[in-house]
C-alpha cells in the first residue's frame, strides 16, 4: 500500500491543493462577521481556524510525543518556520488580500509559489538549480505582473481600487507558502507526515494569538459568534486538516520542486469556486489570461531545467519515504 501511495504521491499533493481551493466557501463569510478593521478580522479568522485545528490534532500529538522529543534544532527550525510563517502569517496575508475583494487576482498570484520553492530547494535542500533557470524568472515575474494589474498599460489605475495592495499581500503569502514546501521536505526527513501536520497548526497558534492582541487588544478576542462554529469547523477540516494530511503524505515522496508545481491546482480550483459559486460577477480579462500563459510557460521551463539534473537531496527523500 505504501508503495502504491508513493507511486501517486504527486496526485496526493494536487488533491490537497484542490481542497485548499474550497477555502473561499468558508473564509469570505467569516470575514464579514468580525472586526471592521480588515487586518484584525483576517487575524481573527486565522486564529479561530488554528484553535479549532489544534483541538483536532491533540490525539496525534499525544501519540507522537516520543517522536517529537527526538527532533533536533534544525528540524524544529523548519517546523517553526512552517507554523509561524506559512500556517499563521501567510494565511493572514492571504485572508487580508481576500478582504480587498479581488479574489481572482489573489488566487492567480499563488502561481508564483514555484519560483520561491525552486530557489529555496537549491539553498536549503541543496537541489541543483541550472544556470538557465535564472533566465526564466523575469519571464515569470512579467506573467505575475499581468495577473496582478488588470490594465498593465495603466498601472496607476491599480492604486485606485487597491489592486496593488491586494497583490502585495497575495505575493507575500505565496512566498511564505513556497518556502513551507521546502521546509516541509526537510522536516519530513525526520518526522512522520501526521506529526508534521499537527505541529504546523500548534506552532502557528501562539504567534497568531500574540498578533491579534497587539493589533486588536483584548476586545478582538470577544467578537466571535457561536453561529459561525460550523464555518470554523468546515475551514479547519476540509482545506485545513484533511488537505494538509494528504499534502504532507504526498510531499514525503515528492521532490519539493515537483510538489510546488502540483500545488498550482490550488489557484485553479479556487478560481473555479469563486467564478461559479462565490462571486460570479468576477471574471478574468485578456491581460490576465496572457499572464497565466506566460507564468505557466516560465514555470514549465523551470521545471524542465530543474529536472534535467539530478538532485543532491536524495538522502532526505529516502528517509522521508521510510518514515511515512
Each residue's pLDDT tens digit, 244-283 = 999 998 888 777 767 777 777 777 777 777 776 766 656 6
C-alpha cell at 43: 487575524
- pLDDT at position 18 over 80: yes
- Calculate ∠ Cα 48-186-310, nearest 5°: 135
Give exposure, 95-120, as e/b (b: 16+ Cβ within 10 Å).
Answer: bbbbbbebbbbbbbbbbbbbbbbbbb
What percent of the chain is modeled with pLDDT above 70? 82
pLDDT band, residue 46 (cuts 50/70/90): very high
- pLDDT at position 213 over 80: yes
Q: Could you tell me if 133 and 118 are in contact, meaning their C-beta atoms sit under 8 angstroms apart?
A: yes
Give exposure, 153-173, as e/b (b: 16+ Cβ within 10 Å).
Answer: eeeeebeeebbbbbbbbbbbb
Q: Could you tell me if 105 and 170 are in contact, meaning their C-beta atoms sit under 8 angstroms apart?
A: yes
Structure confidence at residue 308 (pLDDT):
59
- The arithmetic mean of pLDDT across residues 198-202, rounded, is 95
Mean pLDDT across the chain:
81
User: What is the model's pTM?
Assistant: 0.75
What percent of the chain is modeled with pLDDT above 90? 31
C-alpha cell at 233: 469547523
- pLDDT at position 9 over 70: yes
End-to-end C-alpha distance for the chain, whole angstroms: 12
- Calculate ∠ Cα 287-291-292, nearest 5°: 120
pLDDT band, residue 212 (cuts 50/70/90): very high
Displacement of CA 236 from its chain's centroid (Å)? 14
- pLDDT at position 294 over 80: yes
Structure confidence at residue 201 (pLDDT):
94
Contacts of 170 (CB under 8 A, 6+ apart): 93, 94, 97, 105, 106, 107, 109, 110, 148
- pLDDT at position 8 over 80: no
> What digits encode the pLDDT tens for the residues 47-95?
999 999 999 999 999 999 999 999 988 889 889 999 999 889 998 998 8
What 3-state class would DSSP assign to 186? helix
- Calculate ∠ Cα 226-229-235, nearest 5°: 150
Distance CA 303, CA 306 (A): 5
pLDDT band, residue 320 (cuts 50/70/90): very low
Residue 265 backbone dihedrals phi, psi, to 5 degrees: -65, -20
- pLDDT at position 45 over 90: yes
Structure confidence at residue 156 (pLDDT):
67
- The arithmetic mean of pLDDT across residues 99-123, rounded, is 78
Distance CA 108, CA 292 (A): 8
Q: What is the DSSP string of 260-317?
A: HHHTTHHHHHHHHHIIIII-TT----HHHHHHHHHHHHHHHHHHHHHHTS--S-HHHH
C-alpha cell at 289: 489570461
Q: Could you tell me if 274 and 24 are in contact, meaning their C-beta atoms sit under 8 angstroms apart?
A: yes
> What digits encode the pLDDT tens for the residues 150-166?
777 776 666 566 678 88
- Calculate ∠ Cα 309-311-312, nearest 5°: 130
Beta-strand ranges (E) seen in the chain are none
pLDDT band, residue 118 (cuts 50/70/90): confident
- pLDDT at position 312 over 50: no
> What digits encode the pLDDT tens for the residues 134-148?
787 788 778 777 876
Amino acid at each position: 500500500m505504501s508503495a502504491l501511495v508513493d507511486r501517486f504521491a504527486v496526485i496526493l499533493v494536487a488533491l490537497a491543493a484542490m481542497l485548499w481551493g474550497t477555502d473561499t466557501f468558508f473564509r469570505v463569510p467569516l470575514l464579514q462577521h468580525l472586526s471592521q478593521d480588515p487586518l484584525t478580522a483576517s487575524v481573527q479568522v486565522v486564529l479561530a481556524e488554528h484553535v479549532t485545528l489544534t483541538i483536532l490534532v491533540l490525539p496525534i500529538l499525544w501519540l507522537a510525543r516520543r517522536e517529537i522529543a527526538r527532533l533536533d534544532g534544525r528540524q524544529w527550525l523548519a517546523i517553526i518556520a512552517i507554523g509561524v510563517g506559512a500556517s499563521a502569517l501567510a494565511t493572514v496575508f492571504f485572508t487580508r488580500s481576500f478582504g480587498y475583494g479581488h479574489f481572482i487576482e489573489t488566487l492567480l498570484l499563488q502561481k508564483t509559489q514555484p519560483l520561491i520553492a525552486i530557489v529555496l530547494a537549491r539553498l536549503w535542500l541543496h537541489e541543483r538549480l541550472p544556470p538557465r533557470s535564472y533566465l526564466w524568472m523575469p519571464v515569470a515575474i512579467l506573467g505575475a505582473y499581468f495577473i496582478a494589474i488588470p490594465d498593465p498599460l495603466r498601472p496607476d489605475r491599480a492604486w485606485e481600487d487597491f489592486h496593488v495592495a491586494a497583490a502585495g499581500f497575495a505575493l507575500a503569502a505565496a512566498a511564505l507558502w513556497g518556502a513551507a514546501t521546502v521546509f516541509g521536505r526537510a522536516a519530513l526527513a525526520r518526522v512522520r507526515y501526521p506529526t508534521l501536520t499537527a505541529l504546523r497548526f500548534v506552532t502557528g497558534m501562539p504567534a497568531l494569538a500574540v498578533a491579534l492582541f497587539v493589533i486588536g487588544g483584548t476586545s478582538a478576542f470577544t467578537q466571535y459568534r457561536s453561529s459561525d462554529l460550523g464555518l470554523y469547523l468546515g475551514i479547519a477540516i476540509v482545506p485545513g486538516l484533511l488537505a494538509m494530511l494528504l499534502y504532507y503524505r504526498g510531499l514525503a515522496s515528492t521532490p519539493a520542486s515537483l510538489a510546488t508545481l502540483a500545488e498550482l491546482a490550488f489557484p485553479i480550483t479556487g478560481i473555479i469556486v469563486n467564478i461559479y459559486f462565490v462571486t460570479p460577477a468576477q471574471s478574468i480579462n485578456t491581460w490576465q489570461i496572457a499572464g497565466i500563459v506566460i507564468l505557466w510557460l516560465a514555470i514549465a521551463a523551470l521545471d524542465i531545467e530543474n529536472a534535467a539534473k539530478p538532485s543532491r537531496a536524495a538522502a532526505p527523500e529516502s528517509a522521508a519515504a521510510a518514515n511515512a
